[in-house]
Structure 1
Amino acid sequence: MSVLWQRVLAPLSRVPEGLHTAFVLAQRGVVRPMRPDKLLRIGRAWRHWGVTPPLGFAVGAVRHPDRPAVIDERGALSYAELEQRTSRLANGLRRRVTPGTRIGVLCRNHHGPVETVLAAAKLGVDVVLLNTGLSGRQVADVIAEQQVSVLVLDAEFRAQLPELPTEVDQVLAWTDGTTRHDTLEHLIATSSPRRPTRPRRHARMIVLTSGTTGTPKGARRPDPPSLSPAASVLSRIPLDSGERMLISAPLFHTWGLAAFQLAAVLGATLVLRRKFDPEEALACVQRHRCTAMFAVPVMLQRILDLPEEVRARYDHSSLRIVASSGSALPADLATRFQRTFGPVLHNLYGSTEVSWVSIATPQDLRAAPGTAGRPPRGTRVRILAEDGSPVERGETGRIFAGNAMLFDGYTNGGRREVRDGLMSTGDLGRIDAAGRLFVVGREDDMIVSGGENVYPKETEDAIARLPEVAEVAVIGVDDQDFGQRLAAFVVLRPGQELDAEQVRDRVRDQLPKFALPRHVVFLDELPRNATGKVVPRELRERLAT
């Protein structure tokens, strides 16, 4: 950010929240003059829907009805078309949803899950966003626990669900060829186009925690109290009205869902592909002149892993914002990505439970590539010791955060630890002299080796900087002599060679002795879940073999 803009924006930290929100939304082009008749129609939509996803797309249907709302492999749907189709779908689903139950969504990225979420919100029915990487048994367990009576799913997943209760009504969202089963398209084509009556309650979206161990828990996402949460994020990630946003992060994940919600505020176009392919992502940017991309770090790694001559085939000059979240962004990856694509990378640190905590701008990542950035307006972050007292600046402690979008709790009744209105993220971190946050790892990742506290991420970052290394994951394992020691799992770049002792020798001068990995295991690829997070359990299994 230029010095001039710093001087312009500095006084905004002292203005009331409403004025700050109005300023940011005007700066981003969301708030601007329009005809009185459109203002009247928007006012009626606000009274009908409140601050919910249907409102954003209803506003889009008034302001720019012909603008594409969603583009996927099967073409484009305009804002006007999406508004009518989701009203039809809501009317079609109404007679299928049992009172007190929920709608489940098991879909890849395409218009189907977008329309289902909007239709359910128009009915006031909660939606459970299911991870496409779950096993059939896990899906059945989640459906039973979350009281799902209607499951909207892609046809490819039907064969994986033999244990699904027969009373669960299945509706196919994406099919290849003809089918005898009910589909979203059939419901839309055969249902009334009348706008549904105002729901008695606001629907909640239930996102499954994307942890790497155990059965995922359902987390109730809150209703935004106003447009202030969106303005808070937009003050650090300067997305503009009418962006064309390639959403590579899964829509069932908190990060993909955040992109969907921001698109509703911005009147943006969602560009979706069912499966991520790094070259296809670049082709999409060129084909649709995408101005923004939402991804998880491993996707950015896959793009950089493409041969330079492949990347050079595609024009990505339209891309001015690449927003990354969902897992830790390695410092070396941040540096290499901006060296290749320019100062476009933004890194949001958050979780399903706390939403966002901090956001790093391209300037932050250039100055300190490993940083998670700074908290945006309206967000408080504290680093606390085990007893709840604040630690000194620069010291490592537990990260607590507070904002307007803390989750409402797990659907099983569980909650996160809260201190003075701030919720634990479950991570350890520190804040440097410039006020930038650094995340050093999960609380349960820290190990004690020979009496010393060891954070695997420090070792992970040191190994990742080796030019021969494509990816690395470091975890703690039991050790008879030291209690615990580190094990590093390394993926080498094509044509590169290293052995375990060379890895240790190359990072020895960067790490204390107790942070050197005792085990170094070379893999063809790291085991990851559907949201790109490494699965430690599978790494331990590979070490045991």
Structure 2
Amino acid sequence: MDLLRALGRRAWTEAEYLRWCAAAGLVGPRSAGAVPAAAGALFRYGSLVAALSFSAQRCGGRAALIDESGALSYTEVDDRSTRLANEWRKRGLRAGETVALLVRNHRGLFDALFAAAKCGTRILLLNPDFTGPRLSEVAVRERVDLLVYDQEFESALGTLSPRRGAYRAWTESPQLRSLETLIAAGSSEPLPVPAELARVVLPDGSIAAGAQAWSLQPVGALLSRVPLRAREVTECPVPLFHSLGFAMALLSVGLGSTLVIRRRFEPRRVLESMARNRATALIVAPVMLSRLTDLDPLSFAERDLSALRVALVGGSRLGGELCRRTAHRLGPVLYHVYGSTAAGCVAVATPADLAAEPRCAGRPLAGTVVRIADESGAALPVGETGRILAGNTVPAGADRLVPTGDLGRFDAAGRLFVAGRAGGPTGSGNTVVSEDSRR
């Protein structure tokens, strides 16, 4: 009987996620023809390649990304990663080995990410601050077999020499060991099915993709609160090695939207790009949003930002003053994501939530259970502060909640407030954006 209830709850929850995905244009009649290829890619190569295959099939000529070198279509991203994967396989790379990426936001990251996924490797995203002795330490500990790096980090590699090679991604002088050279030489023939599915590991050690049971939860839950839509334009200055940036980049790929990225955050360039590309969504950390809205009012008045519907913020808590300044500069478009490494995305504060209570973390996502508990795990009443426990009904079940590491409370309207770290200094359970991303 318990099993039947669990299966029924799973079916109902997945149906709700499907409904939100359909409302966003992710699934529907226009996508039906792409489903078989995406399903095949899902079982052969995993969720990363399936997302790319899905969008390459239904909107192949649309720009998948725009960086400082220009635009690449979904068809081009798919083809480039296949060619690179074939070249890596010729050089000995095999499923289960580790590919490390020490790169900033640009096309090389996508080339390497999807190529490594097509090879079935373990993909390790490195923080660009991991240089010098620390980089060598991480490479040895994680048993890195192949390294992709930007030219600016070459001096920090030292004697590091992975057995499958080290290849330049962003470089001012293409050479034999650059990604572009390998892509130009590579075959576009489909790759053999790898013995393992790819996994993506973030700098904090958490698994970003490839470890969970199949579910629409990661996408459907967020879309239940944030009105992102298919085939739009997302401006994403957040570093893609960061959990927020990585998650939103993959969501953009799945939606068939255009992701606009650049190697370094410069507020005025971001504002200009938003207007030029008619961005409908902006993904930022609070420190970035603060620097952006600090620009003079004339900068906003001179640019048409009317397409913007979502400014999604995560990484640390917002202050009331920043919420008000954002509303004044950009309009009622601010959405704040709260979550943790262990629990994933837990709650989202909408513009209405932030207008009523700028300090709140929002309301739990669809299919997410949040409990305020005492030290014994017993639930506390509304208004009382305790440990924040959270979990998704899929796949773990609502009875398996994990601590986010924060203290918090609910108000009478059902909004979550974060009071500080559990047993530590005040702060959010989110991963704090690195200093590197602020430059």
C-alpha distance in 1 between matches for 2:174 and 2:394: 41
Deviation at 1:532, TM superposition (A): 5.6
Answer yes or no: is 1:315 the counterpart of 2:294: no
State the Cα deviation string for residues 432-453 of structure 1 (Å, max 9, x = none). 111111112222434xxxxxxx
**Residues 29 and 396 from structure 1, CA distance in 2 versus in 1: closer, same or farther, beyond 3 angstroms?**
same
Answer yes or no: is 1:255 the counterpart of 2:234: no
Preserved CA contact (<8 Å) 2:213 2:395:
no
Deviation at 1:390, TM superposition (A): 2.1
Deviation at 1:85, TM superposition (A): 0.9
Q: 325, 342, 348: which is aligned to 1:359?
A: 348
Report the residue type matching 2:129 in the other structure: G
C-alpha distance in 2 between matches for 1:231 and 1:46: 18
C-alpha distance in 1 between matches for 2:31 and 2:297: 49
Report the residue type matching 1:198 in the other structure: V
C-alpha distance in 2 between matches for 1:397 and 1:270: 39
Q: Residue 17 of structure 2 corresponds to which residue in structure 1?
A: 21
C-alpha distance in 2 between matches for 1:224 and 1:307: 47
Q: 247, 253, 261: which is aligned to 1:264?
A: 253
Q: Where do 1:267-346 residues align within 5 Å? A: 267-346=256-335
**Residues 179 and 84 from structure 1, CA distance in 2 versus in 1: closer, same or farther, beyond 3 angstroms?**
closer
Q: Residue 530 of structure 1 corresponds to which residue in structure 2?
A: 436
Q: 406, 411, 416: which is aligned to 1:437?
A: 416
Structure 1 window deviating more from structure 2 (341-350 vs 426-435): it is 426-435
State the Cα deviation string for residues 417-464 of structure 1 (Å, max 9, x = none). x99511111111111111111112222434xxxxxxxx589xxxxxxx
C-alpha distance in 2 between matches for 1:246 and 1:338: 18
**Secondary structure, in 3 states, of the residue corresponding to 1:327?**
coil
Q: 220, 231, 236: which is aligned to 2:207?
A: 220
State the Cα deviation string for residues 85-107 of structure 1 (Å, max 9, x = none). 11111111223436643000011
Report the residue type matching 2:194 in the other structure: P
Answer yes or no: is 1:183 the counterpart of 2:170: no
State the Cα deviation string for residues 367-420 of structure 1 (Å, max 9, x = none). 11011101111111111222322223212211111127899xxxxxxxxxx995
**Secondary structure, in 3 states, of the residue corresponding to 1:346?**
strand
Preserved CA contact (<8 Å) 1:379 1:401:
yes
Deviation at 1:166, TM superposition (A): 6.2
Deviation at 1:168, TM superposition (A): 6.7
Q: 328, 348, 354: which is aligned to 2:337?
A: 348
Preserved CA contact (<8 Å) 1:254 1:351:
no
**Secondary structure, in 3 states, of the residue corresponding to 1:530?**
helix
Q: Where do 1:455-494 residues align within 5 Å? A: none
C-alpha distance in 1 between matches for 2:145 and 2:10: 48
Q: 406, 414, 417: which is aligned to 1:427?
A: 406
Preserved CA contact (<8 Å) 2:265 2:437:
no
Q: Which has the higher contact order (CA 8 A, sep 6+)?
A: 2
Report the residue type matching 1:398 in the other structure: R
Deviation at 1:61, TM superposition (A): 1.4
C-alpha distance in 1 between matches for 2:371 and 2:31: 45
Q: Residue 390 of structure 2 corresponds to which residue in structure 1?
A: 401
Q: Residue 187 of structure 2 corresponds to which residue in structure 1?
A: 192
Answer yes or no: is 1:392 the counterpart of 2:388: no
Deviation at 1:224, TM superposition (A): 5.5
Deviation at 1:18, TM superposition (A): 2.8
Deviation at 1:143, TM superposition (A): 1.3
Deviation at 1:313, TM superposition (A): 3.0
Preserved CA contact (<8 Å) 2:387 2:406:
yes
**Residues 125 and 99 from structure 1, CA distance in 2 versus in 1: closer, same or farther, beyond 3 angstroms?**
closer
Preserved CA contact (<8 Å) 2:174 2:180:
no
State the Cα deviation string for residues 37-59 of structure 1 (Å, max 9, x = none). 65554454445445x11111111
Q: Where do 1:200-211 residues align within 5 Å? A: 200-209=195-204
Deviation at 1:139, TM superposition (A): 1.7
Structure 1 window deviating more from structure 2 (94-103 vs 136-145): it is 94-103
C-alpha distance in 2 between matches for 1:136 and 1:39: 45
C-alpha distance in 2 between matches for 1:224 and 1:294: 27
Q: Residue 93 of structure 1 corresponds to which residue in structure 2?
A: 88
Q: Where do 1:150-189 residues align within 5 Å? A: 150-162=146-158, 164-165=160-161, 167=163, 169-176=165-172, 178-180=173-175, 182-189=177-184
Where does the alignment leave 5 or more consecutive residues of structure 2 unmatched?
1-8
**Residues 35 and 384 from structure 1, CA distance in 2 versus in 1: closer, same or farther, beyond 3 angstroms?**
closer
Q: 55, 72, 80: which is aligned to 1:60?
A: 55
**Secondary structure, in 3 states, of the residue corresponding to 2:101?**
strand
Deviation at 1:65, TM superposition (A): 1.2
Report the residue type matching 2:227 in the other structure: P
State the Cα deviation string for residues 185-240 of structure 1 (Å, max 9, x = none). 1111111111112222221110122xxxxxxxx22233462223201111111100
**Residues 403 and 531 from structure 1, CA distance in 2 versus in 1: closer, same or farther, beyond 3 angstroms?**
farther
Q: Residue 128 of structure 1 corresponds to which residue in structure 2?
A: 124
**Secondary structure, in 3 states, of the residue corresponding to 2:182?**
helix
Preserved CA contact (<8 Å) 1:102 1:126:
yes
**Residues 14 and 61 from structure 1, CA distance in 2 versus in 1: closer, same or farther, beyond 3 angstroms?**
closer
C-alpha distance in 1 between matches for 2:115 and 2:212: 16
Q: Residue 3 of structure 2 corresponds to which residue in structure 1?
A: none
Q: Which has the larger radius of gyration?
A: 1
Q: Residue 6 of structure 2 corresponds to which residue in structure 1?
A: none
C-alpha distance in 1 between matches for 2:186 and 2:340: 38
C-alpha distance in 2 between matches for 1:456 and 1:257: 22
C-alpha distance in 1 between matches for 2:398 and 2:223: 27
C-alpha distance in 1 between matches for 2:337 and 2:185: 42
Report the residue type matching 1:364 in the other structure: D
Identity %: 39
Deviation at 1:134, TM superposition (A): 2.7
Report the residue type matching 1:530 in the other structure: D
C-alpha distance in 2 between matches for 1:86 and 1:419: 39
C-alpha distance in 2 between matches for 1:456 and 1:269: 33
**Residues 284 and 168 from structure 1, CA distance in 2 versus in 1: closer, same or farther, beyond 3 angstroms?**
same
Q: Residue 218 of structure 2 corresponds to which residue in structure 1?
A: 229
**Residues 264 and 227 from structure 1, CA distance in 2 versus in 1: closer, same or farther, beyond 3 angstroms?**
farther
Q: 134, 137, 144: which is aligned to 1:141?
A: 137
C-alpha distance in 1 between matches for 2:254 and 2:338: 21
Structure 1 window deviating more from structure 2 (36-45 vs 123-132): it is 36-45
Deviation at 1:327, TM superposition (A): 1.5
Deviation at 1:531, TM superposition (A): 4.9
C-alpha distance in 2 between matches for 1:53 and 1:235: 22
TM-score under structure 2 length normalisation: 0.90
* Cα RMSD, aligned residues only: 2.6
TM-score under structure 1 length normalisation: 0.73
